Amino acid sequence: MVELKSLLFFMTAVDLALAATMWMGAGRRRDGLLLWSGSLAVRALAFGLLGASFSAGSGALALGVGLVAVSVTLQGAALVTYAHRNLPAWIHTAVIAGVALPVQLMSNDPSGSIVFGGVVIGTLVFGIAMIGWQMHGPSRSRARGVLVTCFAVAGAALVLRGVGAAFVADPVASLLRPSGFGAVLVLAVFAAAVGGTFAFLQLQKERAEGEVQRLATLDPLTGAYNRRTFHEIAEREMARARRAGQPLSIVMLDIDNFAAVNEKYGHRVGDEVLQRFAEVVRGALRKEDMLVRFGGEEFLVLLPEVPGPGAVVVAGRIRRAVAGAPIELGEERFALTASLGVAARLDEGPESVDELLGRASSALALAKERGRNRVVALSLGRSIAA
């Protein structure tokens, strides 16, 4: 047998401790961490009221049940915020009114109140499980699976516990001191409530680790891959291309006369120009192509399974896209052009990534010597069939 009042007071202390911990750890006001902390604080208040409500009167009982419902919607809002969306604030007000008022009106019908509260709050909890299920994220995220499972279990247990009150002689006694299967359901609800919080914290940890990994592989200014990551991926692609006899090409590109932009407008404006330039180039590429910031205003594109002639076509498309998309920053308008050098893996024999880069760099230098805003290709070799 379980003593519900004691369990409610214990959960009040647990929720307050978790809420304080999450509040202090929420250095950034995003990803729903503060909302979840707030939900735990509201739930702690609700559990405290419910622990005393059976002697304090039905008004406290109705308010406590309404606050439990609001704590659920706040957790839903936290998940929605984590997914970079927003849950309308009026939902919380509507839920507390839609739950507390009926419970108050049914104060003389304990069985009806318990059935109503269990089914309604259980349904809300199921809704949180659905939000977690539909969230975009890593398909193998263990934390996401645990979170969905916790809320699904809690929702099912609440509904079963609520409906079960209609089939017992003394529903209040059954609720206050559940035994047997009823006790299992009550313990499942509280265990899932705590488990859901820890799963949400693990989701936050997974996202933070992913952000660290992203920053380690990408150039923070332009979002292009950095030079170190390029070499790691290019070596793998080169080895695969040699084994399979497939083409592999590189386009190296440089913004023409970019130094003049920095000298005239300063590095802050220069950085914004680089960001916009990277966006334009990225828009001219396939999903599988790799844009790399190689240094300063120099970029390159790795083109897996693209032979030399195809790479020349891609380079021409990039050149036209850059020339045809002037960048506007405030009142300034920057008409940029780019010079591009193309090199492809030769099929005459083994070749390294550094040799491919060397030829692309030589082609880029020749493009600049010939007047800029042009594409030059060197030593494309015999055409390797794509």
- In what helix (H) or strand (E) does residue 338 lie, and over which residues does it extend? strand 338-344
∠ CA 266-271-274 to the nearest 5 degrees? 125
* Domain containing residue 338: 227-377
- 222: in domain: no
The two beta strands, 332-334 and 327-329, are antiparallel
- 329: in domain: yes
Total domains, the chain? 2
* Whether residues 59 and 196 fall in one domain: yes
Q: What is the pTM of this model?
A: 0.68
What's the token pair of residue 349? 């024999």
Domain boundary among 192, 217, 242: 217
Q: Please check whether residue 18 is in contact with residue 29, taking contact to mean a CB–CB distance below 8 angstroms.
A: no
- The alpha-helical segments, DSSP class H, found in the chain are 4-25, 33-56, 58-82, 90-105, 110-134, 142-164, 171-176, 181-217, 227-244, 258-265, 267-283, 308-323, 353-369
* Whether residues 147 and 245 fall in one domain: no
* Whether residues 172 and 65 fall in one domain: yes
pLDDT tens string 100-132: 888 888 877 777 888 888 889 999 999 999 988
* Whether residues 188 and 322 fall in one domain: no
In the predicted model, is pLDDT for residue 385 greater than 50? Answer: no
∠ CA 280-329-227 to the nearest 5 degrees? 45
176: left (phi over 0), alpha (psi -120 to 50) or beta: alpha
Q: Please check whether residue 19 is in contact with residue 38, taking contact to mean a CB–CB distance below 8 angstroms.
A: yes
Q: Please check whether residue 234 is in contact with residue 353, taking contact to mean a CB–CB distance below 8 angstroms.
A: yes
- 262: in domain: yes
Q: Name which residue leads in pLDDT, 40 or 5.
A: 40
281: left (phi over 0), alpha (psi -120 to 50) or beta: alpha
* Whether residues 237 and 305 fall in one domain: yes
CATH number of the CATH domain containing 321: 3.30.70.270
* Whether residues 173 and 238 fall in one domain: no
What's the token pair of residue 379? 């030593």
* Whether residues 297 and 324 fall in one domain: yes
How far, in whole angstroms, is CA 244 from its chain's centroid? 36
- 231: in domain: yes
* Whether residues 88 and 148 fall in one domain: yes
* Whether residues 242 and 205 fall in one domain: no
Among 376, 282, 243, smallest CA distance to 274 is for: 282
pLDDT tens string 186-244: 888 889 999 999 999 898 888 888 777 777 788 889 989 999 899 999 999 999 888 88
- 19: in domain: yes
pLDDT tens string 287-343: 889 999 998 899 999 999 999 899 999 999 999 999 998 888 888 888 899 999 999
- 174: in domain: yes
* Whether residues 148 and 283 fall in one domain: no
b/e sequence 140-177, b meaning 16+ C-beta within 10 Å = ebebbebbbbbbbbbbbbbbbbbebbeeeeebeebbee
Domain boundary among 159, 185, 217: 217
* Whether residues 130 and 54 fall in one domain: yes
* Whether residues 22 and 97 fall in one domain: yes
**What 3-state DSSP class applies to 250?**
strand
Residue pointed to by tokens 């913004």: 255
- 382: in domain: no
- 383: in domain: no
Instruction: State mean pLDDT over 142-168.
Output: 86
